[in-house]
Structure 1
Amino acid sequence: MAFDHPTAPSCSPPTWGLNVAEDHEATDCRPSICTPMAEVIREKLPGHDPSDDQSHLRRMSSRQRRHMRWKNAEQNVNFMSKSQLGKIMSEASWAERMVRSKCFEWFSGSLILFNCIFIGWHTQMLASHAIEQTNLNMDPIVKTSAEVLILQVGFTMCFLVELLVRWKAEGLTDFFRSSDVVWNILDIVCVLIGIVDASAEIAMLVNGLEEQTPLRGFTVMRVLRVVRIVRVVRVIRIMRFFRELRMMIFSTVNSLKSVVWVILFLFGLFYMFGVAFTSAVVSYLDTLEMRKQSESATLQLHFGTLDVSILTLYMAMSGGQNWHVYYDSLATMKGGEFWCLLYILYITFAMFAVVNIVTGVFVDTALQSSKNDREVVVQEELEQKHDYLRQLHQLFQAIDENSEGRITREVLQQAFKHETILAFFSHLKIDVPDATTLFDLLDFDQSGAIDLEEFLHGCYQLHGEATHLEAKMMQAEVRFMKENLVSLVEDMRKVHAQLLFLKRLP
């Protein structure tokens, strides 16, 4: 008699993060876990046709595709392996490879620093020369020597070549559409300023023009020379390993919005108290005789008008003048005890409340800026991981007393008898009940010994508390095991029923 064979339980692994509904088939239209998340998001966006992106990619030339891959590698260099970067850079053009190289970054950064040093030296030399001519009762004449002009032209040509190479690597139009468009425009402006300045100097040197000529006296040319110092800011972007300096610069830039609100808040504070003190002084000095008295001179000097009172209050808070000077001035008024008390109240509120609040706002802005800087966050995370692995290596060496490069079960059990070893494990946030359990968790290949790679990898996976993702993965595994166990029990019941049926047959 024929009967149905039991269905073997499914042993396929669970699909992480995809909740399969009970009333849906397993072959529904749910996106695969291997589907890139960007494609899934684009399919969900209303009015977006994913085929547009595919057609755009097909229309791109091979050079444009290589350039797009290079740009992606440049923006996500911290998230790509060395083999991936090597493959992409091998397909890149000579300009793209040069711009991405460390030597080019060092060259650009060093060029900017040396140029800033040259500008400072040249400025100091001109100032010293002007002082010497003044001491000789001569009009100071600003004259650029031929040696200085040669250095200036050399720096200008180096900056021009560096700019053209980066422009070539970025592309003619992409140079102004990248995330560094502000820096790129700044570089163009600085190079143009250098070319104009150097050309004017060469023309005046060749034609023998003096400082008194109209071109030499042109104020804009002097301003352009000073503007070149902005190049020093670019070194923060190029020298990416200046992490602390980079954080300070970016935090300062991001705090400009907070500075505006702080200025408005402080102005309101100064305005409110300034009106009070100015009104009191005007009411007190209500006659000509009172205003001509020598005792009232300081009152008129510090609180005579509203704008002067605002400046006085700002100087009292910021340290521009000792606050007791203004206190003594208010004390000379009739009934000055009240105004002195109000002034002390202002100083107390400004120094102990306003200053601390403003400091807290700037500190919070700086912290948020560092968190939003992806390169800083990635660098800090990598440094923490390297430091943790270094401590694990030290722990491995402490347990492996014979320097055999491997830890056996007996050696680990012996090490757990030392309180220092247990304290080291606790410091690294590795909570294990005993040596046997830890050894079984770390001995992946079941060889009876733990090498350095197994120890580092296993302990790094064990440290810290369980994350939300790990908890969800554990729930999925338990659900997967439960479903298979239920299916197995049902199949065993069917087999048992069929065996009983066969047993009853004659």
Structure 2
Amino acid sequence: APAPPASDDGDTETATEDADPGKARGLMHRSARGWRRLKRRCAKCCHLCCLVAQSYEERAQTPLQRCVHSTIFKSIISLCILVNAMSIGALSQEAVTAAITNKSPNRIWEDIEFALSIIFLVELVLRMLAEGRLFLIGDDWMWNVFDSALVLQFVIEEAMGPQRDAPTFSFTRVLRILRFARILRIIRLVRYFATARIMVFSILGSMVNLCWIGVMLAIVLYSFAIFFLQGIEQNWPSFDEATKADVENDYNTIIRAMLSLFMSVTGGDDWSNKMTPFLQDPFFGTFFVIFIFFMFFGVLNVVVGTFVETAAEVSRRDREHAIERETTRAQEYANDIREFFNQADKDRNQVLNWDEFQSHLNDNRMKAYMSSLDLDVSQASMLFHLLDVDDSGEVGVEEFIGGCMRLKGTARSIDVNVLLYECEKVMCQVVEFKDFVKEKFEAFEAFFGVWTDNTRTSGSTKVRKKRHDLDLWTGSDSPRESVQGPRPGQFLQNLVRAPLPWKKDMDGRRSGSIVSMKSMKN
């Protein structure tokens, strides 16, 4: 089909495009595949750079730092801490035995404790030299100060020499008492065990709640103690001698009454024994049962719930535990996916094609196994195409594992929001393109309408040729329109109804024409 007429001065450029849709789709497909390969190569390069940076940081450490931070060094120190805890217990037992039997204690445990203290002193010096100023301002500065205090106590005790055993020297008695504070060094071991660390941090994090719980229990026990003391006062004349003896033992003061009620709730004594003075009065006896019920199923459950909530919060805040848990979970999932890949890869070429994937999923056990991994295998073809990001018809091991980890489970909130964002961006582009095309078509319609009005009366061969080209381009077949030009507003309708360039009519000729977008923009 001929192109629309151009102006005499050559300002308007028009062309006819006979684009092959199959070829265009092929170009788009190859372009998208090349872009995906480029992104994958960039990701591999970034990962390689991270590994290089990590190895550089490891090489940047001094030999002393690598020694102090090594797993072997930490394991040896942990073993020494355990042996030190056992030696302190053995020393305490030997001291009591010597006091009872009037014999001198065995010196072997003191020698072991001395050797361990020397090891701890060397370990502290090595860490101070390796960490430098981070020893006092780093993340573990509190542990470092605690270890320094224990080592300083050992140095002072050894510097005193024979005077440390003098029974009249008060300072040595204080040092002897503080010696058993070394047992607290065993708390350092919780840093290497995630579960123990969470328990210790939960206890420390619950100290504020524990104080308020103690205040609440004191108020409750104080209120009930006053009430029961009034009952004892009213029923004192009717008590027998045995009951009066129990009352004098358990409820003679307000503090003793609070202690008796606390023991009856916490299991320090059977609450039926504490209830004996109130059995003669049904009102106070019933109220004592209500007190036990309230404390067991009300107050104590609230206390337990508070501690459980605190432990859960500490577990969520424990960054190391969360990272370790997620890493372990991801590693286990990747191992399961790798096992499925190895079973499906029949030719053992580390590449999975569609035939192998489909034949392996025909087994109901494999379908159930994939479903247990949070992967929807109801549409196996769609799943394979989503895993095959480069559209090569084959999926590698890492590509398969990464795709399965990306597609497992249901859509998350971020996935839905990304999809909405992409749809909104595409809609904005479509609306912008629609406005652009509408503006150009309206400009063409106005231009061609003016041009036909100016050349309607012309009879030259050139003008008739241009009018004939315009009729073919607009699809006008009416003789009246051929002479007078298209009616106002009909050009856009004829252009919309015109078939696309790759559509053929019944006569086998191309009857449509489209102006190139490049010419439009120009």
Smaller-chain TM-score bracket: 0.7 to 0.9
Q: Deviations over 1:162-215 (max 9, x none)?
A: 22222233334x433333332222111111112223334xx22xxxx7955534
Instruction: Write out aligned runs for 1:50-199 (5 A).
Output: 82-131=51-100, 133=101, 138=102, 141=104, 145=107, 147-172=108-133, 174-199=134-159
Shift of the 472–291 alpha-carbon distance from structure 1 to 2, 3 Å rule, reads: closer
- Offset of residue 488 of structure 1: 5.2
Partner of 1:384: 329
Partner of 1:328: 276
- Offset of residue 320 of structure 1: 0.5
Q: Which has the higher contact order (CA 8 A, sep 6+)?
A: 2
For residue 386 of structure 1, what is the amino acid of its counterpart? Q
Q: Does 1:245 align with 2:193?
A: no
Q: Does 1:231 align with 2:182?
A: no
Conserved? CA contact 1:281–1:304, under 8 Å: no
Partner of 1:75: none
Shift of the 169–218 alpha-carbon distance from structure 1 to 2, 3 Å rule, reads: closer
Q: Does 1:444 align with 2:398?
A: no
Shift of the 129–227 alpha-carbon distance from structure 1 to 2, 3 Å rule, reads: same
Shift of the 189–226 alpha-carbon distance from structure 1 to 2, 3 Å rule, reads: same
- Offset of residue 480 of structure 1: 3.8
- Offset of residue 414 of structure 1: 3.0
Partner of 1:429: 374
- Offset of residue 123 of structure 1: 2.5
Tell me the C-alpha RMSD between the 2 structures.
Answer: 3.3
Conserved? CA contact 1:406–1:450, under 8 Å: yes
What is the percentage of aligned positions where both structures have the same residue?
25
Describe the SS at the equivalent of 1:285. Answer: helix
Partner of 1:418: 363
- Offset of residue 437 of structure 1: 0.9
Conserved? CA contact 1:399–1:415, under 8 Å: yes
Describe the SS at the equivalent of 1:465. Answer: coil
Partner of 2:258: 310
Q: Deviations over 1:236-256 (max 9, x none)?
A: 23x2xx111111111111111
Describe the SS at the equivalent of 1:407. Answer: strand
Alpha-carbon distance in 1 for matches of 2:147, 2:51: 30
Conserved? CA contact 1:210–1:216, under 8 Å: no
- Offset of residue 148 of structure 1: 4.3
User: Which deviates more, 322-331 or 344-353?
Assistant: 322-331
For residue 403 of structure 2, what is the amino acid of its counterpart? G
- Offset of residue 485 of structure 1: 4.3
- Offset of residue 421 of structure 1: 2.6
From 451, 459, 462, the equivalent of 2:404 is 459
Q: Deviations over 1:36-94 (max 9, x none)?
A: xxxxxxxxxxxxxxxxxxxxxxxxxxxxxxxxxxxxxxxxxxxx955433212322344
Shift of the 210–230 alpha-carbon distance from structure 1 to 2, 3 Å rule, reads: closer
Conserved? CA contact 1:274–1:309, under 8 Å: yes
Conserved? CA contact 1:282–1:304, under 8 Å: no
- Offset of residue 504 of structure 1: 4.9
Conserved? CA contact 1:291–1:297, under 8 Å: no
Partner of 1:21: none
Q: Does 1:345 align with 2:281?
A: no
Partner of 1:59: none
- Offset of residue 227 of structure 1: 1.0
Alpha-carbon distance in 2 for matches of 1:97, 1:210: 39
- For structure 2, list consecutive stretches of 5 or more residues without a partner in the other structure: 1-8, 15-27, 33-48, 452-464, 470-522
Alpha-carbon distance in 2 for matches of 1:484, 1:284: 91
Q: Deviations over 1:111-136 (max 9, x none)?
A: 222222222233233333334x2xxx
Conserved? CA contact 1:152–1:198, under 8 Å: no
Shift of the 364–210 alpha-carbon distance from structure 1 to 2, 3 Å rule, reads: closer
Partner of 2:457: none
Alpha-carbon distance in 2 for matches of 1:121, 1:185: 27
When the two structures are aligned, how many residues end up with a matched partner?
411
TM score, norm. by length of structure 2: 0.70
Instruction: Write out aligned runs for 1:215-226 (5 A).
Output: 215=169, 218-226=172-180
Alpha-carbon distance in 2 for matches of 1:167, 1:181: 11
Alpha-carbon distance in 2 for matches of 1:293, 1:306: 21
- For structure 1, list consecutive stretches of 5 or more residues without a partner in the other structure: 14-79
